[in-house]
Amino acid sequence: MSKKKKKTKIHKGVYRLVIIILALLIAYVAYLKIYKVSSIKDIFEGVETKEANLTEYIVYGTHLNIKGNLEIDSTNIDKVSLAFKTINTENQEEFPMTYTKTQNGIEFSTSDLINEGINLEEMPLNTYYFFIKVDYNNGTSSYYSLKNDTDYEYKDDENLEYYTITKNEKNNKIDIKFANYDMSGTEIEYMYMGVGYIKLPDNVYDVVIDPGHGGADVGAENGKYNEAELTLEIAEKVKEELEDLGLKVLMTRDGTEGNEYNVYSVYDNNGRVNVTGDSKAKYVFSIHLNSIEQANSQSGVEIYAPAKINLNFAKSLADNIVKSADTKYSGLQMNYKVDEGVYVRTLTEEDIESSRKGAIAKGYEPYDIKENTPYLYMIRETGGIATGAYVDGRNTSYGVNKYYDSNIGVEAYLLELGYINNRIDLENIVNNQEGYVEGIVKAIKDELLGEDYVAPIKKDDKEQTNTNTKRN
């Protein structure tokens, strides 16, 4: 090959390379314009060096709630929001917050109800940086990062982990973390949340079903029937139906528990409270049968719920069970009845004083029981900080709730399906279990998955369908 032809070939190759580079540059500029790529530096553009103090961040059920305070001049504030900033995203999402003005600034909160706030199930895949946005009457706004002022176990090196409910055989994992950023020599702390796909770990569940009593504790009785056996039968059927919907379900007991399983073992490692906490589930449903001293004097369904929650789900449970099981709402008229079939029972002043006196008599420090603390332990102790759980082992009659001071709580409902010592209720519960199961499952499906949700066909079902099709 002549030198002239060789040079011409080299020049053509260089020319082609230049064309490719220019095309890539043009494509990259177009990408920047379309997607408005930014960096962590752009996220903090315009953010104040003053930090908002985060005094509480709690996940209860499927929702995240935060509370805190900010020392600013609150004179001309128009509104306060929680702003979600993301890299590579043009739009900024904002969540409206309630706030009150104080002598030094404001106190803010996402919600006064523990099962409302930021719905973690609805967060798309991304990384979100949280800021308190304050809008003023003159049209200006200021952004403040969130400094972790709590004493939760996730304060330093750890992060809060949340797994979304299984839908279409898919789950997301959400990590809530804190980090520091250098703002021109001033280090500020900030809160952020990462959302990504994950294969659900073996020890993580969507729902816990808790059949009441068990072992040496048979619960309420009537003739040859007892509460522990009947609730287990119903719970097993509920579990099967929920699993058919694609949910991952854990039972707190399966009927093999021995006499060591009783009212004093509920806080043991294999007790129903810690089993529920270990599961990382979003909901727990404790199934019971009621009883009253005078037989046949009361009947019907009672759904017990925590205080400070949106009660729509509790009402749905009551309504669906009554309809599907062809039963009725309980006629129990107490000051803690809040709707037909719905009850919110909390510890009274007399209950708290009795607990205090009992502690002193047994020689341990009385519990610091707060207002609106649920009376029923399966509602109280499974919710952690959100529901005022307090069994920390100081009363040696019981074990330790490992999650009493956790800021991740399981949303709990106790279902009293009827009165075992009411003839009509008992007959219906024994002979019409499918009706009760149908009502429970429908309420759970509508709340967790949506009314229109259709469960994916399992592999075995597909194979069976294909076989039947070929035969036809």
Whether residue 31 is predicted with pLDDT greater than 50 in this model: the reply is no
- CATH (one of 3.40.50.720, 3.40.630.40, 3.30.70.2190, 3.30.450.90) for 207-448: 3.40.630.40
Of 19-23, 134-138, 295-299, the one with minimum mean pLDDT is: 19-23
Whether residue 220 is predicted with pLDDT greater than 90 in this model: the reply is yes
What's the pLDDT at 39? 79
Q: In terms of pLDDT, which residue wins out, 466 or 420?
A: 420
pLDDT by residue (tens digit) across 55-102? 999 999 999 999 999 999 999 999 999 999 998 766 689 999 999 999
pLDDT by residue (tens digit) across 103-126? 999 999 999 999 999 999 999 999
Average pLDDT over residues 319-331: 98
Whether residue 37 is predicted with pLDDT greater than 60 in this model: the reply is no
- Report whether 437 contacts 242 (CB < 8 A): no
Whether residue 467 is predicted with pLDDT greater than 60 in this model: the reply is no
- CATH (one of 2.160.20, 2.30.30, 2.60.40, 1.25.40) for 42-198: 2.60.40
Whether residue 129 is predicted with pLDDT greater than 70 in this model: the reply is yes
Q: Quick one: what percent of the chain has pLDDT higher than 90?
A: 83
Q: In terms of pLDDT, which residue wins out, 3 or 175?
A: 175
What's the pLDDT at 463? 56
Whether residue 7 is predicted with pLDDT greater than 60 in this model: the reply is no
Burial 380-416 (b: 16+ CB within 10 A, else e): bbbbbbbbbbbbeeebeebbbbbbbebbbbbbbbbbb
Confidence of residue 36 (pLDDT cuts 50, 70, 90): very low
Whether residue 464 is predicted with pLDDT greater than 90 in this model: the reply is no
Starting at the edge strand found earlier in the chain, the sheet holding 249-251 runs: 249-251, 207-211, 283-290, 411-419, 302-304, 342-343, 337-339
Going from the C-alpha of 338 to that of each of 43, 302, 464, the distances in angstroms are 46, 11, 48
Average pLDDT over residues 233-249: 98
Q: Where are the domains of the chain?
A: 42-198, 207-448
pLDDT by residue (tens digit) across 364-422? 999 999 889 999 999 999 999 999 999 999 999 999 999 999 999 999 999 999 999 99
- pTM confidence score: 0.89
- Tokens coding 470: 């070929």
